[in-house]
Amino acid sequence: MIIAERKPIGEILDMIRDCDRVLLLGCRGCVTVCSAGGEREVEILASLLKLGRKKEGRPVEIVEGTLVRQCDREYIAGLAQWDGQYDAVLSMACGVGVNFIANLRPATVVFPAVNTSFFGGSATQGVWTEQCAGCGNCILHLTGGLCPVARCAKSLMNGPCGGSQNARCEINPNVDCVWQLIHDRLGRINRAEQMLQIAPIRDWQSAGHGGPRQVVRDDLIV
Amino acid sequence: MSEFIPDIKAFCCHYTSQQTCADNGENLQKSGFPGNVSLHRVPCTGKLQVSTLLKAFEEGADGVYVVGCPVNKCHNVKGSQRAAKRVAAVQKALGELAVEPERIRMYHLERGFHPEFVAAAQEMDKLVKALGPCPFKGEAQ
């Protein structure tokens, strides 16, 4: 899922400084699961913004809402129910949601309340780790299911590098060297010979280096 | 100028406040428990949400504190530990808003009517009086 983290309150207050009425909009998708922008977080941020503005002597009206998702046209259409009730939308969805509102609501002012961090999962309760870089050309079948693009600091295709020390990455002794993990795992699943395959020079266009990407499925288009 | 009497809200779990609230709180009043501290009982402090604590400030509290079971002796195992984490989250948020984080505090107390229960209220009362009105009320200088 997409992992996000709420922006500092001061930064958000600065965004909405000219607004008297704000629609604080949560999303029931990924940001609910990672506790960054679901209904509960909407409730908390609404309180904080009201308190912050009250302290400044400029109370703000916060309208709270949450959409099933903010990355689909049909759900963004649901924004109509709050028409006329706000000066700006403060979205707690990932950057996709903010972009969708901007795309589909040309006259609506929209601000991001979270920083969209990465694609990851919950390693333990309250801890999320990056697992996928969305590079558009998956090679996990060659690496035992562990992604060197996302989890190697250099995104090396033929690792490990000389900075791998005691199975840790040179950038931080708390970070596993994913190539060590790949090596160990391929050995455990009797596929160690895959380490000998030399990965060719990679075309990074699919990773976004060729501009914004899109997926088109003709079979779904009527 | 009249003395500042802070509005302090205490959230207590069923177990730490059960005997305290017996006899309609008469013993509590006799013990020196500050009259400006209002008690809000919850089944377990682990049930308290961050938003509930923030709402207390929205409703005009100058100070808030939570009384839960001792860290390793919570009736619901980890309830008071969860509460402590949420209190810490509110402290961090208050700091972000440039408001004294000590306006909210967590206490871990034994069950029953102990002097420590009263002492916690008196400590918060003294602390918040020294801090003055909560800036969220728009009355602070």
* Residue A125 counted as domain residue: no
Instruction: Find the CB nearest B135 among A9, A40, A55.
Output: A55
Give me the pLDDT at residue A146, please: 98
pLDDT over 70 percentage in chain A:
100
A13 plus A56 within the same structural domain: yes
Q: Which two tokens stand for residue A83?
A: 């028409």
* Residue A110 counted as domain residue: yes
Inter-residue contact A182 to A205 (CB < 8 Å) = no
Q: Which residues of A touch B (CB under 8 A)?
A: 8-10, 40, 43-44, 47-48, 50-52, 54-55, 57
Sole residue written with tokens 């177990």: B15
Q: Which two tokens stand for residue A158?
A: 């033929």
Q: Which residues of chain B have pLDDT under 70?
A: 1, 22-24, 139-141
A151 plus A73 within the same structural domain: no
Closest CA to A76 of A108, A45, A49: A108
* Residue A11 counted as domain residue: yes
Q: Measured between alpha carbons, how far is residue B83 from residues A74, A153, B10, B69 in Å? A: 39, 37, 13, 10
Inter-residue contact A132 to A106 (CB < 8 Å) = no
A56 plus A154 within the same structural domain: no
List, for residues B21-54, the tens digit of each pLDDT value.
766 677 787 889 999 999 999 999 999 999 999 9
pLDDT at A103 over 80: yes
ipTM topping 0.85: yes
Overall average pLDDT of the A171-187 stretch: 97
* Residue A192 counted as domain residue: yes
Give me the pLDDT at residue A175, please: 96
* Residue A86 counted as domain residue: yes
Check which CATH number belongs to the domain holding A53 and give it: 3.40.50.1860
Instruction: Find the CB nearest A8 among B51, B96, B135.
Output: B96
Q: Where would I find the beta strands (DSSP E) of chain B?
A: 8-13, 37-42, 63-68, 104-108
Give me the pLDDT at residue B23, please: 67
Domain that holds residue A114: 2-118
A45 plus A13 within the same structural domain: yes
Inter-residue contact A49 to A24 (CB < 8 Å) = yes
* Residue A216 counted as domain residue: no
What is the count of structural domains for chain A? 2
Q: Taken in order A60, A63, A68, A72, is the CA torsion positive or negative?
A: negative
